[in-house]
Structure 1
């Protein structure tokens, strides 16, 4: 029989989060820094890496501040940590990395911070230095003292950095080649504004969605797990962008795409996307699910999300990640029961009980069909016919 601790396991996976002590969240705890980066410039040519010793020639790059809203001491600490990482050469341009920092944002703020950094490959800038070519790149850093799970936003951060690359390509000629002469005023205002608003775009869409949809937020979770085509009307461009990001962060589509190459042409393909319509106006939120009923699993997930302080980005994202993990756990368990049911009738009964208790039976069946063998499909057909005769809902 299905373990009740697994059934509709959103609460069981997330309940401990509410016990955590709440802390203030505000924009002053999030910062940025932009550096010009010469990967092949040695110390003797003016390496400005803060932890390099005067007589060292081993370090083969230069790292110089171009723009930041960190204090001078905090920026120096950040650059020292960053230089240690870059000196090991363990980075891939365009792909973000994370590091923990021991710096302070102010006298009364804890010095525990998380930093995302990315080496940006802009249009090549070749500079002659004593007859030797040097190739200039940039390194962008986003620092947060309040978001401990910043790594959960890797995709969003990498995407956001593509916008920085475009701005840098347009403004690269503004920054002179000599790092010692670079001034913050030389950075284009649009680029500064873009860097300064990173947290609003990358992180705070979760807060805005929860506030805007409120008790209807479970419909977005359901739309994502259903892999539905969401048609949005009446929304502002900002609202539509936020909602699409929310749906994407709840999606388990990457798992589905990994399974698709293994599909047999004779097997069932569920990617005939259902359509869900969302209409927003000033005072109301309306969903038209076209007969698709949100599952209990999604309703519980939405209810839990509303218990979290809306400004607590880390808890919101952790909650959504736990929803995905719980759903995948349920999916794997159903697959295991159905596989056993090919030779064991009691396992078929356990499958039936589990699908009824987990709160997301209809959704799970859709995903089971993606990579099921012909034997499993036969078992599942028998199970679906039994459920239909019993008149039970798996929602």
Structure 2
């Protein structure tokens, strides 16, 4: 079952390259009750795999590895031959694929076999920036490893593709959409609406676009709950579909419903994303730059929400602050989503929120960055 191979070298669009690797272990307890690791597969050389195993065992036996929570740590060795750059490792402890649960089985399954997945790269790739993507990828891997028996070969093969799936996907999406498509993608994410892909778009690109949209959505950042929209809204031409465009400057373009428009703020974010993913630097550097722009986009959403909450609280006793809240929402281009999340959080400002909702439902929002009919 154990296999030791060569490290992977990822060539970028330019001349530089980085070294990546991966390792997969079963985590169990030895005869003394101490944590032990059984190697499933590794792309490291035997001496480096031994160093990695010792590092993981020290962490496990100190109780410093928490199930379901990934961590990034620098290691004392490099991955590539002749490379002096120390490696960085993302590792996570996850339960193997559970059986169908019921109340009787739950206690037994909680004590079942676990797995540790390790993803390694050169330190300049900054894996900690992509921890959400790495965690989601590892969860999908662990879910297909049975609690008993050997690990499927297909899982080991998929694990080798972790770098392209978790990091370079950002560059592929930027290359496929361009500034305008990215602006519409960000608008969909900010308004917390699902998007659709036309059937001719290949499965890999569909998954890439959906992953990027999920990563910059507001639900995970604010109330951690999706907003609800009227049933059947998407069937009435209110949704956004990305289509394949063989004759256009970019592989995908948005099919925009009537009444939609992109305002200056969201258009600028689309341009910033496109610039971050443009040529001139290595692919892993472009991916890191795209991720930084996305983080800034999410941070702006959080700042808008915090500013609105302050204005709502002040508006309970100050009518001028109510006017300021109204102007702020109109300029944000995101009034519906911000007000909905404010309602989800509850508090004493519900009367103020209802006044603002009544105003926007009556007068509309001429400053929105995207409208739906």
Where on the TM-score scale, by shorter chain, does this alignment land: which range?
Answer: 0.7 to 0.9
Match of 2:317 among 328, 335, 343: 343
Query: Structure 2-normalised TM-score?
Result: 0.73
Cα separation, 2, equivalents of 1:146 and 1:282: 38
**8 Å Cα contact 2:37-2:57 kept in structure 1:** yes
C-alpha distance 25-368 of structure 1, shift in aligned 2 (>3 A): farther
Cα separation, 2, equivalents of 1:168 and 1:76: 23
Given that 1:230 and 1:276 are in contact with CA atoms closer than 8 Å, whether structure 2 keeps it comes out as yes
- Kindly state the Cα deviation for residue 173 of structure 1 after the two structures are TM-superposed: 3.8
Secondary structure of the 2:89 match is strand
- Structure having the higher Rg: 1
Which residue of 222, 230, 234 maps to 2:195?
Answer: 230
Specify which structure has the bigger relative contact order, considering alpha-carbon pairs within 8 angstroms and separated by 6 or more residues.
Answer: 1
TM-score by length of 1: 0.69
Q: In structure 1, list runs of 5 or more residues that go unmatched.
A: 1-22, 43-58, 125-133, 175-186, 261-268
Question: Displacement of 1:211 after TM fit?
Answer: 0.7
Report the 3-state secondary structure (helix = DSSP H, G, I; strand = E; otherwise coil) of the residue aligned with 2:145. helix
1:207 correspondence with 2:184: no
The aligned counterpart of 2:103 is none
Paired with 1:303 and 1:93, the residues of 2 have a C-alpha distance of 39
Structure 2 contact 97–143 (Cα < 8 Å) conserved: no
Contact preservation (8 Å) 2:276, 2:290: yes
Q: CA deviation at 1:381?
A: 4.6
Alignment of 1:309-348 (within 5 A): 309=277, 311=283, 312=285, 313-348=287-322
Distance, in Å, in 2 between the alignment partners of 1:277 and 1:324 is: 23
- Separation (CA, whole Å) in 2 of partners of 1:353 and 1:243: 33
Deviates more, 1:358-367 or 1:150-159: 358-367
Does residue 32 (structure 1) correspond to residue 6 (structure 2)? The answer is: no
Q: Which residue matches 2:185?
A: 220
Q: What's the CA shift for 1:163?
A: 4.0
Q: Return the alpha-carbon distance in structure 2 between the equivalents of residues 368 and 120 of structure 1.
A: 34
Structure 1 residues 276, 385: closer, same or farther in 2, change over 3 A? closer
Matched residue, 2:10: none
**Residue of 136, 160, 172 corresponding to 2:137:** 160
CA deviation string 1:258-311 (max 9, x = no partner): 478xxxxxxxx7543652222223334133244243343322221111222452
Q: 1:245 aligns with which of 204, 211, 227?
A: 211
Please give the alpha-carbon distance, in whole angstroms, between the structure 2 residues aligned to 1:317 and 1:259: 23
Match of 1:293 in 2: 261
Q: Secondary structure at the match of 2:171?
A: helix
Q: Does 1:117 align with 2:91?
A: yes
Q: Residues of 2 paired with 1:123 and 1:330: CA distance? A: 40
**377, 381, 387: which one pairs with 2:353?**
377
Q: Which residue of 2 aligns with 1:68?
A: 42
Which consecutive residues of structure 2, in runs of 5 or more, have no partner in the other structure? 1-12, 99-110
Note the aligned Cα RMSD (angstroms): 3.5
**Contact map agreement 1:348 1:383 (CA 8 A) in 2:** no
1:191 aligns with 2:141: no
